[in-house]
Amino acid sequence: MFLESAKKTGWIEVICGSMFSGKTEELIRRLKRAKFANLRVEIFKPKIDVRYSEEAVVSHDSNSIRSTPVDSPTSILLYASEVDVVGIDEAQFFDKSIVSVCQQLAANGVRVIVTGLDMDYLGNPFGPMPDLMAVAEYVTKVHAICVKCGDLAHHSHRLTKSDKLVMLGEKDTYEPICRHCFNGLTK
């Protein structure tokens, strides 16, 4: 009697929200659980994200996990052979090819966990994030707390005058605010 091998299924999970909402913290939590389950895990981040570390993915609460910085999403495919779980931080900084890379990984049986800002500082959908959310099996939207009124925040309000779309920064550059406070500031 022949036994069919178990079908390896993959999927895409997206964790999105504003700055300071806990996206990276949740990514690290899920990846550490996967490692605890003895799954083979690889983590990637855009090479331009050097805020806390050139190589590690680091949350605002200083939790970290080793990662591989990449210039291009297609590089992930080269490094991600023979893995069970792939984590990708700050996906909004990649081009739209990140979507097809995630789909290819999932089609190959890999669990893909992706984080990113869902909106830019102007309140517009950010880069490939809307497309990633559309193709994902699971989407988790996390919220920060509005620094102005204490409600749930989902906007990343820029505190500087720069109009560059991509501008790395921390608490000196961005603050989380709610819809009401964001609308009041942008009128």
Q: How many Å apart are CA 18 and CA 167, to the nearest integer?
A: 14
If residue 33 lies in a helix (H) or strand (E), which one and from where to where? Answer: helix 23-36
Give the Cα separation of 27 and 17 in Å (integer). Answer: 13
Indicate the residue type of 52.
Y
| Whole-angstrom distance, CA of residue 50 vs CA of residue 69 | 9
Task: Give the active site residue among 90, 137, 170, 175.
Answer: 90
CA 15 from chain center: how many Å? 6
Instruction: Report d(CA 96, CA 67) in Å as an integer.
Output: 21
Active-site residue flag, 137: no
How many other CB atoms sit within 10 Å of the CB of residue 153? 26
- Catalytic positions, written as ranges: 90
